[in-house]
Amino acid sequence: MSVSKLKIGCAGLGRMGKRHALNFLERTPRAQLVAASSPDDAELEWAKVHLAPFGVKLYKNYDDMLKHEGLEAVVVASATAVHAEQAIKAINAEKNVLCEKPLSTSVEISQSVLDAASKKPHLKVMCGFSRRFDASYRDAYNKMTKGSIGSPSVLRSQTCDKLDPSGFFVAYAQFSGGIFVDCSIHDIDLALWFFGQDSKVKTVSAVGITAVEPDLRKHNDRDNAVGLVEFYNGKIAYFYASRMMAAGQEDTTEVIGTQGKLTVNAQPALNLVNIYDGAGIRREIPQHYYDRFEFAFVTEANEFTAACLENTEVPLKLEGAVQAVRIGSALQEALITGQKIFFDEAGNRIEKTKL
């Protein structure tokens, strides 16, 4: 008896797109990668070697890929600037969508994806926040929901990238939406997950510096920033984002409750090996985000595929992705202006002079 597989296409074959393509090709048994697209010739050359021999049809034009016969779903892993546009095109073409984070660097454009998805409730549309699929984060969440730390009150979370002296982050800042929208978006999503998706923002404030990349200021960005979000339910989230970790990637979360706390990745480690040498005792840590969350992306691919095939709910709601961009954008604005931003319980901005 033949087993039905989800026929999926991958949009974008950059660093993240390659990973998604290979995960759906090799590590998602219920999916069949049938197509991939990229406007970049070098990326297509890579695909000719790694995808085409396995029956994956390659397209230079994304719109052409959407017409691929039998295509049922699309993973949007292209540049952030076209996430929303490509997601909406796929939705309008009756395809299920897994979109890399963020939906957009703009709240309004992110909302347009949600609006498009709302008109097609039979489709599965999900934004990929990979930490929600990580075994350690899931374990911490489950322990919290069982009351192991009492009532969660404070979340401290960070996304700290390895230092890249090539100037990549300066060039990337033109399109990223800023360090909070790009870098801290995962931490913001964690706060909404652990505190509850209905958490309403009361105030947002932020500060930042350019310790190693002063040219980031040309794009209203920083290489180190701290953001503080106060919620109406009496909870606080503290975010730290950095582009200058010398040893490697450091993504750590701490959830502090009334009867204890939970930490995830408080002592980053690549594996269980400790090195004993003349410098002392040490261990290696992940060098990049994917080193730490590789298997979370695999779980994400498999659970999205299952939701499409079984017509079940996707693991996280699209509304949360819009909310995360809204908070990230407010943090970025607070960082640039140096002003604290206030909201009412309906989510509307309040001018300080009116308080």
Judged against a pLDDT cut of 50, whether residue 355 lies above it is answered with: no
pLDDT score for 175:
85
Rounded Cα gap, residues 73 and 342, in angstroms: 39
Measured in degrees and rounded to the nearest 5, phi and psi for residue 118 equal -65, -25
**What is the dotted CATH code of the domain comprising 134-294+323-350?**
3.30.360.10
Closest CA to 64 of 44, 42, 45: 44
Question: For the chain, what are the domain ranges?
Answer: 6-127, 134-294+323-350
Long-range contacts, stretch 138-144, CB < 8 angstroms, 24+ apart? 140/253, 140/255, 140/262, 140/263, 140/264, 141/193, 141/194, 143/262, 144/194, 144/255, 144/257, 144/262
Q: Which CATH number fits domain 6-127: 3.30.70.2860, 3.40.50.720, 3.40.50.620, 3.40.190.10?
A: 3.40.50.720
Average pLDDT over residues 295-300: 98
pLDDT score for 2:
53
Q: Of 224-228, 339-343, 351-355, which range is least confident?
A: 351-355
Average pLDDT over residues 81-110: 97
Structure tokens at 51: 């995808």
303 falls in which pLDDT band (50, 70, 90)? very high
Whether the ω angle into residue 214 lies within 30 degrees of 0, i.e. cis, is no
Closest CA to 131 of 99, 159, 111: 159
Global confidence as pTM: 0.95
Share of the chain above pLDDT 70, in %: 99
Mean pLDDT of the chain: 96
What pLDDT, in 10s, does the model give residues 28-44? 999 999 999 999 999 99
Which residue's entry shows tokens 């961009």? 325
Structure tokens at 270: 């690549």
pLDDT score for 1:
42
Measured in degrees and rounded to the nearest 5, phi and psi for residue 155 equal -120, 125
Rounded Cα gap, residues 264 and 252, in angstroms: 6
Rounded Cα gap, residues 56 and 13, in angstroms: 13
Judged against a pLDDT cut of 70, whether residue 223 lies above it is answered with: yes
